[in-house]
Structure 1
Amino acid sequence: MPIVTQVKVHQPVKNQLVGRGFVVAGVGAGFEGTIGLRVLDSRGLELATGSAQSAGGMTGIGEFSATLEMASPPRNGTTVTLQAFGDNPGLPDEGPAPGFDLVEVPVIVFPGLRGWLLYRVVRGDTLSSIRRQLRPFTKATVAHIVAANPRIDDPDVIRVGWKLRVPQLD
């Protein structure tokens, strides 16, 4: 029977800001409907693991969601990799590792994240002036703002009209 499996992550998206714990949602299928989840640091070490049940059941593709919690999250602004895959209980003897239809999503961790502010850059702004203006709302530093916005290649160069994410941190 030519049934195929599929895993797609809808949340979080590439380079989304996440806290110590965050929701993963998408569609997929795996062995008995189980979607495997894990978070890896840049060295490949596991920071969190979990699973979700697909609403599609045994073999059908369906919605899934779960919350992953990092017991020891990395420092603010660190990029980690979320992996989602169709669970494969036959490992290591059969099938790909860590499972079928592996999807990887880079996300940016701020362990104490409450959300973020969107700031539209206007003429004359610098990252330091933006930080000063937003001080009543967050303790984010210029380094945090840079880490939250991968489009910033040079902290001395920001463009009018850019929308910058400023993490809300305590």
Structure 2
Amino acid sequence: MGVVTDVRVRQPRTNDVVSDRFVVTGLGAGFEGTIGIRVLGPGGRVLATDSAQSSGGGIGVGDFVARVRVPDPPRAGTRLTVQVFGDNPGLPDEGPSPGFNTRTVEVICFPDSRGFLIYRVEAGDTLTAIVRKLRPFTRVTVNQVVKANPRIEDPDEIQVGWRLRVPVQD
């Protein structure tokens, strides 16, 4: 029989800014409909695990959603890897690890953030000036703004019209 399984992640997307609690959604299938989720920190250390139940049940691909919590999150601006996979209930030496159809998504973690603002760069702006302008709304550093925006290669060179994500933190 030509039936195959699959896993697709719809959220988060690559380079999304997330807090220490975030939603993982997608389509997938796994053993008895279980989708496994792992969050890896720098060096591949497992920071959190979770699972979701696919609406396709044990026989079909269906949508899934889980709210993941990283209990001991890294410092603000740390890149994390989210792995989503079809659960593998076999013995450690059976099947792929951590599971079937593993998908990975790189995200940027800002623990305790309440989301982010989007700031459009205007003529004459510098990152320092932007951080000062937004001080009534959030307490971030220039370095944190750089980490939240992978397109910034040199903090001294930002371009008019860029839309920058600025984490909302107290």
Q: TM-score, normalised by structure 1?
A: 0.98
Structure 2 Cα separation of the partners of residues 131 and 88 of structure 1: 46
Secondary structure at the residue paired with 1:65? strand
Structure 2 Cα separation of the partners of residues 104 and 112 of structure 1: 23
Alignment of 1:131-142 (within 5 A): 131-142=131-142
How many residues align structurally? 170
Report what 1:15 is aligned to.
Answer: 15
Please give the root-mean-square deviation of Cα atoms over the aligned residues, in Å: 0.7
After superposition, the Cα gap between the structure-2 partners of 1:158 and 1:91, relative to the gap in structure 1 and judged at 3 Å, is: farther
Structure 1 Cα separation of the partners of residues 154 and 143 of structure 2: 11
Structure 2 Cα separation of the partners of residues 18 and 144 of structure 1: 13
Q: How big is the shift at 1:93?
A: 2.5
Report what 1:161 is aligned to.
Answer: 161
Matched, 1:24 2:24: yes
Q: In percent, how many aligned pairs have the same letter?
A: 61
Runs of 4+ in structure 1 off by over 2 angstroms are none
Report what 1:35 is aligned to.
Answer: 35
Q: Residue 23 of structure 2 aligns to which amino acid in structure 1?
A: V
Report what 2:78 is aligned to.
Answer: 78
Q: Residue 82 of structure 1 aligns to which amino acid in structure 2?
A: V
Q: TM-score, normalised by structure 2?
A: 0.98
Structure 2 Cα separation of the partners of residues 91 and 153 of structure 1: 45
Q: Is the Cα contact below 8 Å between 1:113 and 1:169 reproduced in 2?
A: yes
Q: Is the Cα contact below 8 Å between 1:91 and 1:97 reproduced in 2?
A: no
Runs of 5+ unmatched residues, structure 1: none
Secondary structure at the residue paired with 1:117? strand
